[in-house]
Structure 1
Amino acid sequence: MTSARLCNRAVFAPALIAGLMCATAACGSGTSQSAATWEEPSSYSYTLRSTEGERALIGTFRVSVEDGEVATAAGLDDSGRRVVEQNLDAVPTIGELLDELDQARQDGADTAEIEYATDGHPRRIILDRDERAIDDEAVYVISAYQPDAR
């Protein structure tokens, strides 16, 4: 009886490790089947939490996009409110965040990663153009994404 359990564990453990390695590799690559099919709708809303670095865009925002442009943005914390009051144009659409990711990759950034939600929309973008530089990082977390049902 003991040898049967050891045999099952001997087969199960490597299979589990292989599965975890594949899942980890997929996450690190920043690709997903559903992500390849996601297209930014012309109208939607989402919550953006932007952190890291000394960027002009630090804070949490509720954003509404209409016809491909930010129509309204509300700062949900002190930093977000300051950004909206001083420069509403600094608040991006999801498409603009994807453009920033693409540009970082083209420029050879040390880190330019993306994670997707199960429906395919981006849910986290992590950028670090130069890992030796201080405060050039950006982390964007996208939540409460709602496409407009027009």
Structure 2
Amino acid sequence: MTAVSRPTRAVFSASLIAGLLCTVAACGAEPARSTSAHSRTTWQEPASYTYTLHSSEGERTLIGAFRITVRDGAVVRTVGLDDSGRQVAKDIPDAVPTMGELLEELEQARRDDADAAEAQYAADGHPVRISLDWEKDAIDDEALYVISAYRPADSPGPS
């Protein structure tokens, strides 16, 4: 029998556990690919779809979780999924964007040379995460949009 020191065994065990945790955390997650600061997706926004948006960071008007319905390129229904989302949906429903408008905000941040303007996309090309920071040293000018449960109107289930 080969003798293995306790530190070696501990490192191996910790590596194994970390690998398993990473694998489990990835289960059920939408496959996403990251893009460089200036690459664009080839995804075409459909005229009608639904999606869930979790908007956070900074002192922005749009903070909260929302279930959004888009028809003919415009938001027609917004359901707030948390207290902040319900307040926004009630007081300023026009502040809730389509995914196309989120991508326009990303492109505008890139044109304005924001310090960070990054996105991740699902395999079909729709955005799943948009992170913006106009000035790295400024406080509360960041935005983070996490998109999930996207379903085109003609699709049978969420993707």
Range class of TM-score, shorter chain: 0.7 to 0.9
Q: Aligned partners of 1:51 and 1:36: how far apart in 2?
A: 23
Q: Aligned partners of 1:147 and 1:38: how far apart in 2?
A: 12
Q: Aligned partners of 1:59 and 1:104: how far apart in 2?
A: 21
Q: Aligned partners of 2:139 and 2:37: how far apart in 1?
A: 24
Which residue is equivalent to 1:36?
41
Aligned residue type for 2:52: T
Question: How many Å apart are 1:36 and its aligned residue?
Answer: 3.4
**1:92 equivalent among 88, 91, 97:** 97
Q: Aligned partners of 1:39 and 1:28: how far apart in 2?
A: 17
Aligned residue type for 2:82: D
**Number of aligned residue pairs:** 123
Which runs of 5 or more residues in structure 2 are unaligned? 1-32
User: Retained in 1: the 8 A contact 2:38–2:110?
Assistant: no
TM-score of the two chains, using structure 2 as the length reference: 0.73
SS in 2 for 1:71: strand
Map 1:1-150 → 2, pairs under 5 A: 27-29=34-36, 36-149=41-154
Q: Aligned partners of 1:75 and 1:88: how far apart in 2?
A: 10
CA-to-aligned-CA distance 1:97-149 (integer Å, 9 cap, x gap): 00000100000100000000111100000000001100000000000000011
Q: Aligned partners of 1:70 and 1:115: how far apart in 2?
A: 22
Comparing both structures, which one devotes a greater share of its residues to helix? 1
Q: Aligned partners of 2:35 and 2:100: how far apart in 1?
A: 21
Aligned residue type for 1:107: D
User: Retained in 2: the 8 A contact 1:31–1:115?
Assistant: no
Question: How many Å apart are 1:37 and its aligned residue?
Answer: 2.8
User: Retained in 1: the 8 A contact 2:41–2:121?
Assistant: no
Aligned residue type for 1:140: Y
Q: Aligned partners of 2:37 and 2:110: how far apart in 1?
A: 12
Superposition CA RMSD, Å? 1.7
Which runs of 5 or more residues in structure 1 are unaligned? 1-25
Aligned residue type for 2:114: A
CA separation of 1:28/1:120 partners in 2, compared to 1, >3 Å: closer, same or farther? Answer: closer
Q: Aligned partners of 1:53 and 1:66: how far apart in 2?
A: 29
TM-score of the two chains, using structure 1 as the length reference: 0.78
